[in-house]
Amino acid sequence: MTPSTTCPPFVMLFSLTLSVLALAQAPQQFNGFVAVPGGQTTIGAEVETTIQRIVEKPLEGDIYAGECPRQSQFVNSFFISPTLVTNEMYLAFVEDTNATPPPLWATIDKDLRQAIIKEGVELEGPGYKFDEAAQAKWWKEHWQDEGREWSMPSSSALEPVVFINFNQAQEYCRWAGVRMPTEFEWVRAARGDTANEYPFGNEFNRAIVGHIATKPNIFAVKRLPVGMFPGNASPYGVLDMSGQVHEFTDTSADKLDGFKSFKVTIKGEKKKDNKVMYPAPVWDSSRIILKGGSYMNPGINCRVDSRIAFSREAAVPVVGFRIAASEQPCRDAAYAAAPKIKSSVIGGNPQRLLDFPKTIGLEKHSWADISRVEMMRESPEKPLIEPTLPNEYAVLGRYSGISLTPLRDAFRSGSHPSVSKIAKEAVKDGYFYPIGTLTSTVKLSDYDFEPGVYTLAFLPELKADTLKRMGAKIKVEEGEEEEEAEVAEIEIKTTFDITGLELLPENEHVLVINNAGVAIAAFEITKPVKLISEKSAAHGFEFNEKKSELDINLSITGSRGKVYWFRFSIDPVNTNGKSLSDMKYWLKAAYLNR
């Protein structure tokens, strides 16, 4: 496969969390997003209003019923991209990671096209049509063929990227260190404190929405560049939240709280001709919620409250995505990486168990030199006009960061166990408590494991004999003589496999656990773990200039206002092995030429 364009240089923008230092709690601000203030937000529709809609369009009954009942919650302040993710934004990701290029980027000359059509007719009959869906199917099977070429069409650089499924959108988010908005956040960005049916007001305006009946009709039933309709903006300047393409949210299609089945009567000419229906929405947590409507929908389906349950695996021409970011640095990267952790290792669904508001870490976001990006575009094909992009529009690059996220209730706070009791459980039952996750895009000095996301577990202070019986290797302090290695049968089965792991006797450790449940590294705890008042517990990273390390203070919630306090050190390094435990690295802007 051969791309025809090269991604532009990237300039780095920093945002970091230093909870122990003065910079600790400052919300991050970075290019490519608009700020959405927090506030009470309502989603869904009233049953009475929904019944009226179903009477007018009975075939849409199950979909409309899925908007009921109306409900509210407070949404914290956050950031959202002013546009959908465009082809040129997605190109940066594809070129950097060798991810699958979208099917509409395939290079298909006349001869190849005829060959594809011939094969399609032979397999499916004379009714075969080589449209976008057929091209997507063919590309999925052949994009990795030797010599296969692709190129993002420069004329569609500013169109929303499509034929991307939810999982691929998540991979983009992990790469960029961002996420997709929840449904409540999406609605908050779309209408703010208003109760508007549409981002721009209560009356639908077919002249500013890309949908099935856009006026003039030369703009109807087609994807359009973002920024074509500046009037299709939310109170915060977020574009195309009505029409254009449906948008993924990070919300599962679960039953809305308080939903009750209701009756709809479709009246006929006579009473005996009346039809009664009980709409049955699709409630399925394996699906996700789409918002916004598309260029194939009428205006009523482009309302802010419209919602559709959609497969995470499906990739179609009318669905794209938009990105969001939390005010708290590192939180989004930790959240996006969490699904990579096996629930059997951490003890349940990681996105529900982890205490994301207490994530600590360091991070850098990057973005392209927009003047270089603009040089790679071509004007859209006529009759389209040049779009007006918002000032906040940006092309993101690869994210870099390292963070730790504690579990909410790692030590069963109800029972409030002491550290000594935790140690006794380890000796008696071989039980090591999971305490959180490590998420990193960089390697760590002295530890031979790849960047990624791992479970962290607490190994209390144990004697050498106990560690040996668990299968560990005894670490020898500098100056001491190394004992001959003994091959002993493992007598104490442990929660996580520590066979062969080098550990220091009578010293507490934080274990790094992979998805096979094997401890692949151990951080030595430098100060004894304590159960102390949350107010007096440090929580965050400190730069240790003398040792060229990062000292980590990790507080894990206990009960009665107390926390379990951990302190240990790590040294992140770049690909050349150079230490990144330097504040200047995380604050300095730089160009990355690839």
- Per residue in 497-531, pLDDT tens? 999 999 999 999 999 999 999 999 999 999 999 99
Segment 424-445 shows an average pLDDT of 93
Q: Is 148 buried (19+), middle (13-18) or exposed (0-12) by CB count in 10 A?
A: middle
Q: With 60 as the cut, is the pLDDT of residue 88 above it?
A: yes
Q: With 60 as the cut, is the pLDDT of residue 487 above it?
A: no
pLDDT for position 354: 97
Number of Cβ within 10 Å of residue 284's Cβ equals 14
Segment 177-201 shows an average pLDDT of 97
Gap between the Cα atoms of 591 and 335, Å rounded: 27
Q: Which of 440-444, 470-474, 509-513, 586-590 has the lowest mean pLDDT?
A: 586-590
Say what percent of the chain tops pLDDT 90: 75
Gap between the Cα atoms of 514 and 535, Å rounded: 33
pLDDT for position 8: 44
Task: State both tokens at 456.
Answer: 């962290």
The DSSP output letter for 381 is: P
- Inter-residue contact 510 to 520 (CB < 8 Å): no
Say what percent of the chain tops pLDDT 70: 91
- Inter-residue contact 558 to 42 (CB < 8 Å): no
Helix (H), strand (E) at residue 342: none
- Inter-residue contact 563 to 556 (CB < 8 Å): yes
pLDDT for position 415: 66
564-580 pLDDT per residue, tens? 999 999 999 998 899 99
Helix (H), strand (E) at residue 188: helix 183-191
CA 525, distance to chain mean position in Å, is 31
Segment 534-544 shows an average pLDDT of 92
pLDDT for position 299: 93
Segment 337-347 shows an average pLDDT of 95
Specify whether the backbone of 414 is left (phi greater than 0), alpha (psi in -120 to 50) or beta. alpha
Q: With 90 as the cut, is the pLDDT of residue 130 above it?
A: yes
Residues 6+ apart with CB under 8 A from 180: 169, 170, 173, 248, 249, 250, 321, 322, 323, 324
Nearest to 183 by CA among 260, 53, 72, 261: 72
Gap between the Cα atoms of 488 and 468, Å rounded: 8
Q: Is 198 helix (H, G, I), strand (E, B) or coil?
A: strand
Nearest to 311 by CA among 292, 340, 289, 293: 289
Specify whether the backbone of 221 is left (phi greater than 0), alpha (psi in -120 to 50) or beta. left
In sequence order, the β-bridge partners of residue 320 are 247
Q: Average model confidence (pLDDT) for the chain?
A: 90
133-171 pLDDT per residue, tens? 999 999 999 999 998 999 999 999 999 999 999 999 999
The DSSP output letter for 106 is: B
Q: Is 339 helix (H, G, I), strand (E, B) or coil?
A: helix
Segment 413-441 shows an average pLDDT of 88
Residues 6+ apart with CB under 8 A from 173: 179, 180, 323, 332, 336
Segment 449-460 shows an average pLDDT of 96
Please report, for the chain, the start and end positions of each structural domain, with discontinuous segments joined by +: 39-75+181-320, 102-156
Half-sphere exposure of 362 (CA within 13 A, CB side): 22
Gap between the Cα atoms of 438 and 259, Å rounded: 39
Q: Is 351 helix (H, G, I), strand (E, B) or coil?
A: helix
Gap between the Cα atoms of 240 and 227, Å rounded: 8
277-322 pLDDT per residue, tens? 999 999 999 999 999 999 999 999 999 999 999 999 999 999 999 9
Model confidence at 221, pLDDT cuts 50, 70, 90, reads: confident
DSSP codes joined into one string, 560-585: TTEEEEEEEEE-EE-TT--B---HHH
Pairing between β-strand 473-474 and β-strand 502-503 as defined by DSSP bridges: parallel
End-to-end Cα, the chain, rounded Å: 18
Specify whether the backbone of 192 is left (phi greater than 0), alpha (psi in -120 to 50) or beta. left
Half-sphere exposure of 540 (CA within 13 A, CB side): 17
- Residue of 558 and 259 predicted with greater confidence: 259
Q: With 60 as the cut, is the pLDDT of residue 3 above it?
A: no
Gap between the Cα atoms of 364 and 231, Å rounded: 34
pLDDT for position 133: 95
Q: How long a stretch of residues is the chain?
A: 594
Q: Is 586 helix (H, G, I), strand (E, B) or coil?
A: helix
Backbone CA torsion sign across 395, 132, 307, 156: positive
Segment 213-236 shows an average pLDDT of 90
Number of Cβ within 10 Å of residue 365's Cβ equals 27
pLDDT for position 584: 81
Nearest to 168 by CA among 312, 308, 5, 340: 312
Q: Is 263 helix (H, G, I), strand (E, B) or coil?
A: coil
Class of domain 39-75+181-320: alpha beta
